[in-house]
Amino acid sequence: MKLYIIRHGETKWNREGRMQGWLDSELTKEAEMKAKNLHEKLKPKRFDKVYSSDLNRAINTAKLVSGFSNEKIIKKRELREIELGKWQGMLFKDIKKEYPKLLDIYFNDSENYNPADSENFCDLYNRINKFLEEIKDLNDKNILIVTHGVTMIAILNIIRGIGIKDFWNMEVPDGLTPVIYKYEDDKFELLDTDL
């Protein structure tokens, strides 16, 4: 089975520098065009299933990339972005000013990031592990997974055996750039992502 994992396309809030978390923002027109272009490149793969976060920015990306109808897309709460509490909807520059210590813990001491009003990285890993266990037994050939930046890092970290301590070992992936893994004999193998 091959997993095509992508982050949703750029949203208006991404462009403004706002943290989204579980709040939503529309895809930009450029993101919609890029998703349609990716659809043409991936069309020969013929996805057996399409999984998406249940947030609209991911669902709309999944529809454009896969060509699947809304009803055929399997919406999973487990694939949502990390919940960010009061940071949701705030500009990143304002978070840096108002919450410098907590933001430092978020990026540099992820194991100890545990605010009262949002999700921590252990919660995120637990729900991603639940999702990955659910799909491991599928007999499908090609699966598209559309998620969010921090959640995509969590998926890739879990697949590669990287714990929360080293969570930020990579940048947040660009939207609509697939990372492709083959899952066979209870192992994940990174495949060439050149489409």
Instruction: Please give the positions annotated as active site.
Output: 8, 81
Give the Cα separation of 191 and 146 in Å (integer).
18
Give the Cα separation of 1 and 52 in Å (integer).
17
With contact defined as beta carbons under 8 Å apart, do 17 and 91 qualify?
yes
AA identity, residue 137: D
Number of other CB atoms surrounding residue 154 within 10 Å:
24
Burial (CB count within 10 angstroms: exposed 0-12, middle 13-18, buried 19+), residue 194: exposed
With contact defined as beta carbons under 8 Å apart, do 5 and 155 qualify?
yes
Q: What are the tokens at 67?
A: 């060509």
Which helix H or strand E contains 122, and what residues bound it?
Answer: helix 121-136
